[in-house]
Amino acid sequence: MVIEITEKINCCGCTACFNICPKKCISMQPDEEGFLYPVVDKKKCVNCGLCEKVCPILNYKPIEKNTGGIHCPHEKSE
């Protein structure tokens, strides 16, 4: 389980993977426009999976919208 960015849209450049890596095998490298993307040294990587667990893009879960009615706990009853 190694984080691998194949398309730039799949990385927000937050450096969470870089910061969590216990073996320090992830470096943040700039692209041609200067944006940072993770690059993994696969020789150092122990496949712990922490980088994938902290990635906000890989773990994105949309917030469910409340479609129910409004509940007011202090509503006066008539």
Q: Which domains are assigned to the chain? A: 8-54 (3.30.70.20)
> CB–CB of 39/27 below 8 Å?
yes
pLDDT in tens, 14-63: 999 999 999 999 999 999 999 999 999 999 999 999 999 999 999 888 88
Over residues 68-76, mean pLDDT: 64
| 43, two tokens | 């020789």
Phi then psi dihedrals of residue 37, to 5 deg: -135, 145
pLDDT in tens, 28-37: 999 999 999 9
pTM value?
0.73
Q: Rounded distance, CA 42 to CA 45, Å?
A: 5
Greatest CA separation found in the chain? Answer: 72
Name the helix (H) or strand (E) containing 27: strand 26-30
Query: Is the pLDDT higher at 2 or at 8?
Result: 8
